[in-house]
Structure 1
Amino acid sequence: MKHPKDDIETNAQNHQKAPLAQVGVRPFYLLSKLDDPELKGRLEQCTNKPFYRTEFALGHRGASMQFPEHSKESYQAAIDSGAGIVECDVTFTADKQLVCRHSQCDLASTTNILANPTLANKCTSPFTPADPASGTPASATCCTSDITLAEFKSLCAKMDGNNPDATTVEEFMAGTPDWRTDLYASCATVMTHKESIEMFKKAGVKMVPELKEPSVTMPFDGYTQTDYAQQMLDEYTEAGVKPSQVFAQSFNLNDIKYWIANYPKFAKQAVFLDDRYDTDNLDPNDPSTWTPSMAELKDSGVEIIAPPLWVLVTLDDNNKIIPSAYAKAAKEAGLDIIAWSLERSGPLTTDHGGWYYQSISKAINNDGDTLKLLDVLAKDVGVRGVFSDWPATVVYYANCIGYSSKMATKEPTKAENLLGKDKPSN
C-alpha cells in the first residue's frame, strides 16, 4: 500500500495555482518536539518541500502570535504564511462605522489609547491604578463606541495584554505575555472593516468576519442589532465581493438566523460560533446538554458550527486523543466544523495547554502535542478548517498530509483516504 508521503509531490503539484507560503521556523520547532514517531515520520517528509496557501488554515485575528491582532501587519503575516482565509472581528465606533477589533471594549489592552490623554478621557472607565493595600488590580475600559472612526484611525495597535499590578499608564500598557513578542508592535496599523475587505480582496484570500456581541446597550443611538448585522454584509456587497468568498460568523444564533432569512447566499457558509459550553454548561460528551440539538441547528439552516478545540476531542481509556460525542453528532447531522484556536495557549508545558486543551489535558505535556491535536482534528474529527494564531503551522500540516488548497470538503482527498487506511486501530 502506498504511504501518504508518496502523495506529497502530487499535493504540491495540485497547489501550483496557489501562492507560495512562507511557513518560517515555527512548524519545524513543533516537529522537533513531537513524540509520536508515526506522525513525525509523515511530517518530516515535507521539510524540504514548497508550501502553498490553503483554506484549511484560517488566520485568527491575522497572525496574532507575533503581530498585534487585527492590524494590517498581522493580516499580512497571515497571508504571507499561507492562510487562505483571514479574520476581521467586527465592531462599531461612536459614529457607527465598522472596525476590526476582537472586542468592542478592548482598546486599553490592544491599542495605545491610554497614551493619548484626550482619547483616554473619553474611555468608558479611565485608567485606575492598582491598589496593593486592597488587592484591587489596575483597570481601564476603552471602547470603539467611545470614539469616532477618525479617532480610532489615529491609534496604534499593540500586542494584547495589560499589567494588573500597574500604578501608571505606561506600566499598564506593558503587559504583553512573555511567550509573545513586542518586536513588531511599536505602532501597528489599526484597520476598518472596509480596509480589511480591500486588503483581503487584493491578496486573493477569503474573508471570515465575526459580528461581535456589542458591549453597549442596543439599540445604540438608534442603531439596532439588525442594522449592525446588515451593515457588515452590505459592505461586502458594496465592495463587489461574492458571498462565496465570505464566511460570516457570530456567537449569536439570532444573527445567523437573520442572515439565513435575509442574506441566503451569504448564509450558505455562515458560521455559528458555539459558546454554549460557557452559557449553558454544554458537556461535549452529553447530548442532553446541547440545546438546540445538532439536528435542530441543521434544520434551522445552520451549515457550519465552530466550537473551541477542547469541545471536539476527548481521551479514551489509554489517554489517546479521539473525537468527542459532540464532534461525531455534528458530522452525523451534516454540519461542517471549524475549530478555534490553535496556538493561542502559549507553551503547552505550562498547565498542560490550559483552557483550549482542558478536555485532553492528561495527554498534553510538550509543544509538539499541537501537531497531535491538529492531526486528530483533521483526519478523525474531519474539520473543515482550523483557526490559528500562527497559521503557518496549519499550512505546513495541510500541505504535507494532503489537504487541497480549498478548505477541506466532505469528500476526502486521495491522501486522506490513505491516511484512513493506514492509521492504527483504536
Structure 2
Amino acid sequence: MKTCFVRLTALLALGLSPALAATLVGYAELPADTFAAGPASGAYNGQGVRGAARFPSQPVQGFSGVQAAKDGSYVFLSDNGYGAKANSADFLLRMYRLNLTAKNGPTGKGEVKVGNFIQLRDPDRKVPWLIVNGASADRLLTGADFDVEGFVVAPDGTLWVGDEFGPYLLHFSADGKLLDAPIATPNLVGLPTLKGQAPIVVGHRGSSGTRPEHTLESYRMAIEGGADFVEPDLVVTKDGVLVARHEPVMASVDKDGKVLEATTDVATRPEFKDRLTTKKLDGVDVRGYFVEDFTLAELKTLRAVERLPALRGKNYDGKFEVPTLAEVIALVKDVEAKTGRKVGIYPETKHPTYFRQMGVNTSQLLIDTLKKEGFTNPDRVFIQSFETANLKDLKASIMPKAGVSLPLVQLVSSPDEAPYDWTAQGDTRKYGALTTDAALKDIAAYASGVGAYKRWIITDQGETTDFVARAHAAGLMVHPWTFRNEATYLLPAYANDPEAEMRQALRAGVDGFFTDFPATGANVVRAYTAPEVRSPQNPAFATGTSSSAANLGGSGGFEGVALSPSGKTLYALLEKTVTGDVAGQLRLHAFDLASRTWTLAGRYTLEDAGNAIGDLTPVNATEYLVLERDNGSGDTAKFKRVYKVSTSEKNADGTLKKTLVVDLMNVKDPQGLAPSTRSGTFTFPYVTIENVLVLDANTILVANDNNYPGTGGRGADVKDHTEFLWLKLDAPLNLAEGVGRK
C-alpha cells in the first residue's frame, strides 16, 4: 500500500494521471519493403551526388500525417524521402490511400492494403524557385523540394500541407495540384517592448570587445557589426572640446608609478610626465593623467590602448587616435552617405558635477556640438547620465533654449552606488531609490528611459525581475548594460553562451541593450526581428535572397498540422524552437483559411528540450492531441507519448497546459495482438512516431514513420515496418461534433 501511495504521489507531483497505460485493441503492420508505381529511387547520397538507384520504384513509406477518408479508408502523407533534402531528389511526394483492418482478437488478422495515391505537383508553376522537376510539364514535387509532415482536408475539399524546409503552408487541390505559392511563416515573436518596437543594439564604447574602446575604429566595427547606436562617453579637453573617453583619467597609476588601468599610452610619453597628478574624482582620490589637462592638439599625439589587455590582448595598441564628438558624428554621417544606413549616437556626459566644479557645463557643450554638426534628430540621439540634475537641466532649460528636443536616459547603477550629484549635496540615498514605482514615475517627467545595470533586470541567480514591466508602466524605455561575450562576465546558467543572456533580457521586454560585442547583439536581435521563420533549408539561402540567418533548426518546421472542428482555422505546430525563444518551447500557429492571416495560438513546452513533436490532431475547438517523442530507437527509446493540450488554458508562464493521454512505451496488450508484446505490455520504440488520429471518444489511431529504409526499432538489423495501433484510452475525450471516424 505504501509503494502504491508513493507512486501515486510522484505522478501527481508531475501533473500526470496515475492511469498511464492505454489498451491496444487493434493492430496491423505494413512491411517495410512496400512499393508503388513510379520511377526508380534512392540514387542520391547525403551530399546530393547521384549514383545507382537502390530501389526499383517508389517506397510507400514513411508516413508523416494521416486523415480519415469518407469511404472508410485512411489517407497517409509520405514524408520527404530518405531523411534529408540532399538524398531525396528522386522521392516523389504523395498521399497514399490505405485500407486498414485491425487485428482485434488473438485469432484475428491485421491487414493493410495500399490503394491509389495523390501525386503532389506544381504544373502551374506556383513555386517561384527552382525545383527538381522544374523543366517537366507536370513538375512532380520531390523530397528535395519540400519536407511535408502533416496535412488536413479543408471544407472545400482542398488539401493544406505543412512543410518543414521553409517552413511553409502548401495549398493543393483535392487531386494534388499546387494552387498557391508556398505561404511563408511570419516571425510572430511578440517581444514585450514598450511600444512593440524592435529593440536597439548599442555599441558600448563602440565594439569595445574587439577594438580599443572609444576609437573611430571601435565605432566603425560596431556599425559594421549591426549596432543601431554607438556610445561615445564624453569628457572635455583643456581647450573645451568634447572627446570620447570613458573617464577623465586616461591612465591611473599607483603611488609607485605602476599603471593600474589605461586607455591611452600617455604614461609612456616622457614629454607629458609632468601632467601626472592626483585629483578628487567624485569624491575619490585618483592619481593619473587627466584629459582636461591636455589641449586637443596634445591629445591627438597620443594613441589608444586596450583597457583590458589581460582579457582582450594588445594587438591594436598604438594604432588609433582619441576622437572628438564631432569626428564620431562625421563617421556616422559618412556611413549613412555610403550605405544609406542611419545609425544613431548615444552620448553620455561623464561626471557632470566634477566638470561643473571646474566651471564647465558638459551638457551645454554637448547640445552646442550636436547643433553645430547638424545632428539633432530625436530618432538618432539619446543623451544619458548617471547623475540626475544635469538631465533635469537639459530637459527644463538647455534644450528648450537651443530649440532642441532629444530623449534623455537616466542611468541607474548598482545598489551600492549613488548619483554623485546627490552625494555632493549630502543626500545619502543610493541608486535603489531610483527603482521604486514612484521614482520611475518621477524619472518619466524628465527622461524617456532608464539605462539600468543589468542586475536590476536579471538577478545574479539568473532570475528575471519585474523591473522592466514597472518601468514600462511608468512609460519609460529600458536599455540595460553591459552585455559581454567573455565567460568571466556570464552567469554559470548561460554555459558560456552570451546570446542566452541577451535573449533572456529581450524576453524580459528590454527596449535595447548595451554590449561590447554589438555583432553578437545584432545577431540575437535579428532572430527576433526577422520577418519570417526560416530553417537552413529555406530556398532563400540557396538563392541568396535572404539578408538574415536561419532562425529555426534544420527541418524544424511544421511537423504537426490540424484543422479546427469548425473548418475555419488551421493549426500548425513547429517541431523545433525558434532562435530566441525559451529552449524546448514550440510555437503553435493559427492560420485563418478565409483571411489568410496568422496569429500565435500559444507555445507548447516539450518535457525535455531535446524531444520533438510528431503530430497534431483535433479533439474539440480548444483541445488537441500532440505526439511527443525522444530521439531514441529500440533499446534507447524511453519517451514516446500522446498529450492533450488546451489553447484556452495556459500555465503560469503562458505556455499551453498539457495533460498526458497515452504513454506509448507502456501500452496494455492483454490479448497479445502485437508480435512484440511481452508479458502483456506493448512498447512502441520507434525514433519517429508521426501519425495520430482521433477515431472516437475512446479510441485513437497511432502509426510510426519508419524512415524507410531505416532500422533499429525492433532490432538493430531489422528494417522498421509501419505499425498501426488502435488504442483504447483510459479516459474518454470530449469530442466536438464532426471529430472522429463516423
Return the match for 1:251 from 360, 368, 386.
386
TM-score, scaled relative to structure 1 = 0.67
TM-score, scaled relative to structure 2 = 0.40
> Deviations along 1:324-364, whole A, 9 cap, x unmatched?
132221122111100111106x324xxxx3xxx6xxx4x53
SS of the aligned residue for 1:79 comes to helix
SS of the aligned residue for 1:160 comes to coil
> Deviations along 1:149-176, whole A, 9 cap, x unmatched?
1111111001014xxxxxxxxxxxxxx1
Are residues 1:117 and 2:254 paired? Answer: no
| Residue number in structure 2 paired with 1:342 | 483
| Residue number in structure 2 paired with 1:296 | 442
For 1:246 and 1:156, locate their aligned partners in 2 and report how far apart those are by CA, in whole Å: 27
Are residues 1:145 and 2:292 paired? Answer: yes
**Deviation at 1:419?**
7.9
Distance verdict in 2 for CA 1:289–1:307, change over 3 Å: closer
Q: Which amino acid aligns with 1:81?
A: G
Are residues 1:260 and 2:395 paired? Answer: yes
Residues 276, 282 of structure 1: 8 Å contact kept: yes
Distance verdict in 2 for CA 1:274–1:267, change over 3 Å: farther
SS of the aligned residue for 1:83 comes to coil
Q: Which amino acid aligns with 1:115?
A: T
For 2:525 and 2:466, locate their aligned partners in 1 and report how far apart those are by CA, in whole Å: 25
> Deviations along 1:115-139, whole A, 9 cap, x unmatched?
111213212249xxxxxxxxxxxx9
Write out the 4+ residue segments of structure 1 that deviate beyond 6 Å after TM superposition: 9-12, 415-420
Decide which moves more: 60-69 or 185-194: 185-194
**Deviation at 1:268?**
4.5
**Deviation at 1:401?**
2.0
Unaligned runs of 5+ in 2: 1-161, 169-183, 188-197, 253-261, 280-285, 337-342, 419-428, 532-546, 548-579, 582-586, 588-598, 606-650, 654-742
Q: Which has the larger radius of gyration?
A: 2
SS of the aligned residue for 2:446 comes to coil
For 1:232 and 1:422, locate their aligned partners in 2 and report how far apart those are by CA, in whole Å: 47
Unaligned runs of 5+ in 1: 13-53, 127-138, 162-175, 406-414
Task: Write the mapping of 1:241-390 to structure 2, written as runs, cut at 5 A.
Answer: 241-244=375-378, 245-262=380-397, 263=399, 267-275=405-413, 277=415, 278-279=417-418, 280-282=429-431, 290=436, 293-298=439-444, 300-314=445-459, 321-343=462-484, 346-348=486-488, 353=489, 361=491, 364=493, 366-368=495-497, 370-379=498-507, 381-390=508-517
Are residues 1:195 and 2:327 paired? Answer: yes
Q: Which has the higher contact order (CA 8 A, sep 6+)?
A: 1
For 1:89 and 1:323, locate their aligned partners in 2 and report how far apart those are by CA, in whole Å: 29
Return the match for 2:368 from 223, 234, 242.
234
Distance verdict in 2 for CA 1:333–1:215, change over 3 Å: closer
Residues 61, 69 of structure 1: 8 Å contact kept: yes
Distance verdict in 2 for CA 1:324–1:114, change over 3 Å: same
SS of the aligned residue for 1:90 comes to strand
Distance verdict in 2 for CA 1:237–1:101, change over 3 Å: same
For 2:435 and 2:366, locate their aligned partners in 1 and report how far apart those are by CA, in whole Å: 32
**Deviation at 1:199?**
1.0
SS of the aligned residue for 2:345 comes to strand
Task: Write the mapping of 1:159-198 to structure 2, written as runs, cut at 5 A.
Answer: 159-161=306-308, 176-177=309-310, 179-198=311-330
Number of residue pairs aligned between Structure 1 and Structure 2: 321
For 1:2 and 1:255, locate their aligned partners in 2 and report how far apart those are by CA, in whole Å: 57
**Deviation at 1:420?**
9.5
For 1:79 and 1:329, locate their aligned partners in 2 and report how far apart those are by CA, in whole Å: 31
| Residue number in structure 1 paired with 2:685 | none
Identical residues among aligned pairs (%): 25
Higher strand share: 2
